[in-house]
Chain A
Amino acid sequence: MRWPFPRPRRGHLHRRGIAILCSGRAQGLGPGVEPRVIRWREAMPKGRAKGSISGVQRIVCSHTEIPEGFHLRSRLRLSPTPSLPPPAMSPTSDPLDAAVHALREATPPQPESVQQEVWRRIAHAEPTPSPSVLPWWRRLEAAFAHPAFATAFVAACLLLGLFLAEVRLNHLHRERTVSLERSYLQLIDPLLNATDLPRAQPALHRP
């Protein structure tokens, strides 16, 4: 039967396609690990994985979401193990098996260190963005992730608060000094602010 769904493109999870995912326990595929294709069933819930071989699963996704408990380790197609015999074609076999078998045969043999190659390609395909291209909130988050920076920030806030308090106190002390001077002058001379009172001229009181 013809492959009923679009085949996964290299480097992309395809809608209604095949994705090869590894569970959190698995570090990657080994030479003897055979990814198994889960038979497609129409009744299969969307995005659910079924079956497992040594922590490596091949699942059929009906959309691009990665199921819970899994993370994408490789968007690359994995080569089948050459030692495994091709699946026997029978009238009752699933069309997906035939498609995967064809895919295996079409894939060239990989070198011994598949894991290293896969990781190298992942690193090449998903380079870490440099901090300068990140938006400011991402950079802020990244900075606050460092305990030293977070501690320095809190200390700086504390010092800023103390500085502002000192500025306010300085202003308050200046105002208080002026008020003290004025009140003391009024104690010495009650007429100091009585501008509306007619005041005797000093010359009149000179002996």
Chain B
Amino acid sequence: MKRTVLTLSLGIVAGTLGHLGWFSTQRPEPIDSLETQLAWIRADLGLAPEQFSRIKQLHEQLEPRQLHLAAEVARLRAEFAAFERERVEAGEVDFLKVARAAADSRTLDMECNVSARQLVAAAANLMTAEQRRRYLEILAPALKDVDVDQTL
């Protein structure tokens, strides 16, 4: 009985330690930076070191503008949410403000399209045909409103 309990315990401990050890060593890094995203792009597309360094440089150049645009999008989103709250609670809306926000939104939309088109086109130009095809497949959800072929 003692031997049985000992063997069972040893098996459970060995299994648990093996599980936790393997999981902790193979666990992927959290997604917290552009570096991680670019490393994924590199692995997924099989980029050569030279291609990767140029694409990385390109993304690093355009990242501040993209972050600025993202912040603007967030600001406009909050503004439209405030308009909706005001409409529900007060029953009235300042149409001038809404019209101004809508105009800003359209301008921002254009900027985002142009920026995305430039970034994708510049990155795709550094890739081979197969890599470009795969890259555009990945970006398909974001490019549904952007005419990349025209830029390429």
Using a CB–CB distance below 8 Å, which chain A residues touch chain B?
Answer: 140-141, 144-145, 150, 153-154, 156-162, 164-166, 168-169, 172-173, 176-177, 179-181, 183-192, 194, 196-200, 202, 205-206
CB distance from B22 to the nearest CB of A (A): 4
**Of listed A165, A172, A188, residue having the most chain B CB within 10 A:** A188
In Å, the complex CA distance between A183 and B142 comes to 11
Q: How far is the CB of A139 from chain B (nearest CB, A)?
A: 11
- Least Cβ distance of A191 to chain B in Å? 5
The answer, yes or no, to whether B109 is at the interface (CB within 8 Å) is yes
User: In the complex, what's the smallest C-beta–C-beta distance from B25 to chain A, in angstroms?
Assistant: 9
B11 touches A196 (CB 8 A): no
For the complex, give the distance between the alpha carbons of A160 and B11 in Å: 10
A-B contacts at CB below 8 angstroms, number: 137
Knowing A144-B3, A206-B147, say if A189 contacts B19 (CB, 8 Å). Answer: no
Contact between chains at A197 and B145 (CB < 8 Å): no
Q: Is there contact, CB below 8 Å, between B19 and A200? A: no
Does A160 lie within 8 Å of B15, measured CB to CB? yes
Let me know if A166 and B22 touch, CB within 8 A: yes
The chain A residue with its CB closest to the CB of B39 is A180
Is there contact, CB below 8 Å, between A194 and B77? yes
CA distance A35 to B10 in the complex (A): 50
CB distance from A22 to the nearest CB of B (A): 27
**Closest residue of A by beta carbon distance from B16:** A161
Cβ B105 vs Cβ A141 within 8 A: no
B108 within 8 A of A: yes
Beta-carbon contact of A190 and B70 below 8 Å: yes
Contacts A172-B28, A180-B40: A185 and B18 contacting too (C-beta < 8 A)? no
Q: A205 to B113, Cβ gap below 8 A?
A: yes
Give bound CA distance, A83 to B6, whole Å: 55
A189-B112 in contact (CB<8A) = yes
